[in-house]
Structure 1
Amino acid sequence: MKQTVHGNKKRRTIRIIKWLTTAMVAGALLPVVSGPIQWNSTANAAGVNESKVNPFKDVQGHWAQATIAKAYEKKLISGYQDRTFRPNGKVTRGEYAAILARATRMESVDEQKQTTFSDLQGHWAEPAVRQLAAQGFIDAKDYVNGFKPSTELTRYEMMKWIANGLMKSESSFQDAFHDTQNTLLPTPEVNRGTIRDEQIPYLALVRGTGIVGGFQDGTLKPADTTTRAEVSAILLRYMDVEGTDASKYSDLNELREVGTTGTNLTTISNYFYSKDSVKVSDISKGDIILSNKSGILNLHRFIVVKIQNGKAQGIYNNLFVESNITSGNYYLTYADISFRSNTDKTDLITYSRGLNSELLKFRRLDIAHAEKNGFITIPDSPRELISKGKKVRFWTRSFLEFKNGTYHIYAQGIGEMKIQNMK
């Protein structure tokens, strides 16, 4: 259920004055007021006269210039006494806690119920940290050795606190968190093993809602520190998402379907399962035996990207699709499979024929794109990967018709996956 602040106005004013006073001493990036805002990507679109509302002399030409102007106009942020904002300056845990404590609209928690940290006594950020921990933003178990408020904040900490806040603000985000435990994040870092399994659902919430979009190469860089400019942009977006319904975010819905069924098929496309069809999560438990006895295949995930008028759509488009796609309307599909060949003859055409289905094919991903994003795919010389009797795991690609398509594939002992699109 959505929570709303109903605190005493006088008490809140005293607390704000206290925090602002201590923040000026510490040079922290602190908000002045909290409240809902509408996110806009540019100052002009928001109707902001940047020269009037942005007093900072060091943000001209910075990527977050318009964002900082918006945050300043909304009195979310302040700068330093020398009229600088220092957009690339690092943010500490204490500074971020002070900002986030005012960005949230959730109900405050009585001081007697607030969590305490031994190393925060008397620190200027103590009230904000205690409040956030009591509200559920900060998990005290993450800081058993002390909160260490002057430690630079990592991007993962920033994203986890926000994800926790979403789950506390609306129960549908708790459902989304559980649905994405086993999802595929749209970042090459998952292929490289630099994101831990327990981090995935937290990152899925902030990525799926658009609060965090990632860098140009698609990475989320959870171990990196964050900056004042990034914090400004991300908290503006968080304020817009807090308390809403998780089901309204199409990207998050794709991640949820992949997490629960192994595919985003029904979220991104017009395809649906036929009566008595099994899902990818079911079929992954059985063997797909090639009809010509050339091998045995196991399907783990089946990712779909919608191509409409030659443009890729969906949360996975940048991760999977190379730039030189064919124009038109269709669905590109990418299958995460394990395969064991039964023949000395490594022949991709023979393997594909043995599938008796256009749903899966032994077609390699674009090799340069695959290497860039950490995928294992069939190399130019398949023998480098596939050999008789050896089970290997890799990605292949195929496509589905945009309209009037029907496909099926059978796994021994599990059943048949049957999908169709009659539109």
Structure 2
Amino acid sequence: MSLVYLPGEQGVSARALVQEFAASSAVKADNALTRAEAASMLSRVTQLPKPDMADAASVFPDLDKHSSRSDVRKLVALGMIAKNDYPKGFQPDKAVTRFEIMKWMASGLAASDESFKQALADTAHTLLPTPETYKGGIADKQIPYIAVIRGTGIITGMQDGTFRPADPVSKAELAASLLRYKRVEGTKAEGYQALNELREVGLTGSNLSSITKFKYERVTYFNNDGTYKPEAVASAGIDLEQHIDVSTLEPYLRIPGIGLDYHHFVNGYSKRYKFVRLEELGMSLKDAIADAYDTGYMPHLGVEDPSKLSQKDLNLILSHEDATLKVEGSRMPFTSFADVVDSPIKAKKVATAKLHRMIFVDVPVTGKGEAKGVYANYFADTIASWGKLDNSVYMAFTEMTIQTHSDKMDIMTFYGAIGNGNGNGFFKFSRLAPETLDKNGLTTVPMATSTYFTKDSVRRFWTFGTYLKKYRDPVHLTTDSGAYFRAYYQP
């Protein structure tokens, strides 16, 4: 079984490249490649700037008299081959594995543009759409390299979705991959939809922003008690009237970093001129206020950066009757699925749920195209069962854990407890298709849940639900700790 090639790339161009390399080697195109041969092919294809070879002069002593010496040295100097990966020497005549090729190429992309280096970091904990994720066969440290190569389409896996990182590579397979690598090298990681999904899942546990038209809402700048969060505050202070009794300001003068904020009016708007800490005024506070008015400035008592105030000190400033405040919602970060990952959600005394991942697939209107997204084929069997939908939808596949506390627990009991206790109907418990489960080693809820959710049991499984693409209500969830995310449809 061979690698899955992209359309049009297993044809003349790939064969021509194979023939070119074959001219310098007695190895046939379908035979397994050695490390030396693979390094030679990659060395000729990469367009990275010529490196300084001094640091790689004697990196592998077992290459000193080998014909691949200069090619391997070049790849080491470029950062494509890591010396630490070969503590017993490069062993150039040993068969090269699929993972070695993927790591060399992913490292080459990282050397070609900083965005791919960041992509490697972002995908360290992503969900690879391959049966090997749950069935085994891919080590954790291999995930980011495979993710970058999969996300850019350089190698999309075998016909059954596996990558088989320990398997050998033929010359024909590598040649076809190098054609794609050559086009990707030097581009930006953000230009690849599949890689964007894998990066987002690695960082947040969901690909919501990458594949859907839902966008996350910003974190609110209010606390639960109605007070403002300091990080949202652009300016906060106390207006100082010209003849104010400064003795009434005593509680505020103990705030760390407190000082005078001088403002003046420009085109009808108040604009900061300068900020001076009290200890730097060089005069009494009363005299400084008078001096500010004499020179045409409006003084406020405040701090240089109110966003760094403690909640207690911000509340104290705002408690003054002459307090001023400017809040900027853009200072607040966006909510994210990452905020609720592994955060407990209790269903009264029945059970406690935790979410791990929420994966979206773009399902088109029936008969108008194929499902989109890097995870479409991974969940393809389940998607096929929804093929008669009249409206295009997003399918959301959710991985969760439920710990049962009651001896009377089933899905309907859980639904009721969640709705009554936390007021959200986020959880959906449709079962994945048997074909999907068998192919990828996934677990879903059984038909009879009352015997599955036994008291003190801990069950981890996948379920799915659907959202209309123009779903007007928010996709949202709040956990018991107060962590939450909200996402709205935004055309």
TM-score norm. by structure 2 comes to 0.69
Superposition pairs for residues 176-215 of structure 1, below 5 Å? 176-215=119-158
Cα separation, 1, equivalents of 2:358 and 2:415: 17
- Whether 2:399 is the aligned partner of 1:336: answer yes
Structure 2 CA distance for partners of 1:353 and 1:332, relative to 1, 3 Å: farther
Cα separation, 2, equivalents of 1:349 and 1:182: 33
**3-state SS in 1 of match to 2:418:** coil
- Pick the structure with more strand per residue: 2
The residue number in structure 1 matching 2:94 is 151
1:109 positional shift:
2.2
Q: Percent identity?
A: 35
Once structures 1 and 2 are overlaid, which stretch shifts more, 279-288 or 218-227? 279-288
- Whether 2:12 is the aligned partner of 1:42: answer no
The residue number in structure 2 matching 1:318 is 377
**3-state SS in 2 of match to 1:301:** strand
1:358 positional shift:
4.2
Say whether the 8 Å CA contact 1:280–1:300 is kept in structure 2.
no
- Whether 2:189 is the aligned partner of 1:243: answer no
Q: Match for 2:385: what amino acid? A: N
Structure 2 CA distance for partners of 1:384 and 1:89, relative to 1, 3 Å: farther
Once structures 1 and 2 are overlaid, which stretch shifts more, 323-332 or 160-169? 323-332
Say whether the 8 Å CA contact 2:22–2:28 is kept in structure 1.
no
- Whether 2:350 is the aligned partner of 1:294: answer yes
Q: 2:214 aligns with which of 271, 285, 294?
A: 271
Q: 1:78 aligns with which of 9, 14, 22?
A: 22
The residue number in structure 1 matching 2:240 is none
The residue number in structure 1 matching 2:33 is 91
1:179 positional shift:
0.8
Say whether the 8 Å CA contact 2:15–2:172 is kept in structure 1.
no
1:370 positional shift:
1.1
- Whether 2:477 is the aligned partner of 1:409: answer yes
The residue number in structure 2 matching 1:421 is 489
1:402 positional shift:
1.1
Say whether the 8 Å CA contact 1:358–1:398 is kept in structure 2.
no
Where structure 1 has 5 or more consecutive residues not aligned to the other structure, the ranges are: 1-38, 44-63
Q: 2:48 aligns with which of 100, 103, 106?
A: 106
Cα separation, 2, equivalents of 1:318 and 1:352: 30
Cα separation, 2, equivalents of 1:40 and 1:306: 21
- Whether 2:412 is the aligned partner of 1:349: answer yes
Cα separation, 2, equivalents of 1:157 and 1:367: 34
Deviation digits for residues 86-135 of structure 1 (CA, Å, limit 9, x no counterpart): 33210000000111111001122233232421111111111101111111
Cα separation, 2, equivalents of 1:162 and 1:391: 41
CA RMSD of superposed structures (Å): 2.2
Superposition pairs for residues 64-75 of structure 1, below 5 Å? 64-71=10-17
Once structures 1 and 2 are overlaid, which stretch shifts more, 391-400 or 411-420? 411-420
Deviation digits for residues 255-291 of structure 1 (CA, Å, limit 9, x no counterpart): 111111110001100001223274222212421122x
Cα separation, 2, equivalents of 1:422 and 1:105: 40
1:294 positional shift:
2.7
Q: 1:283 aligns with which of 325, 340, 346?
A: 340
Deviation digits for residues 206-242 of structure 1 (CA, Å, limit 9, x no counterpart): 0000001111111111111111111010000000000
The residue number in structure 2 matching 1:33 is none
Tell me how many residue pairs correspond in the alignment.
360
**3-state SS in 1 of match to 2:172:** helix
The residue number in structure 2 matching 1:24 is none
1:155 positional shift:
0.2
Deviation digits for residues 43-88 of structure 1 (CA, Å, limit 9, x no counterpart): 7xxxxxxxxxxxxxxxxxxxx453533426xx85334789xx8332
1:345 positional shift:
2.9
The residue number in structure 2 matching 1:393 is 460
Cα separation, 1, equivalents of 2:203 and 2:101: 26
Cα separation, 2, equivalents of 1:365 and 1:108: 51
**3-state SS in 1 of match to 2:22:** coil
Cα separation, 2, equivalents of 1:361 and 1:220: 31
The residue number in structure 2 matching 1:258 is 201
Structure 2 CA distance for partners of 1:81 and 1:245, relative to 1, 3 Å: closer
Structure 2 CA distance for partners of 1:361 and 1:127, relative to 1, 3 Å: same
TM-score norm. by structure 1 comes to 0.80
Q: Which of the pair has more CA radius of gyration?
A: 2
1:380 positional shift:
3.2
Cα separation, 1, equivalents of 2:451 and 2:137: 26
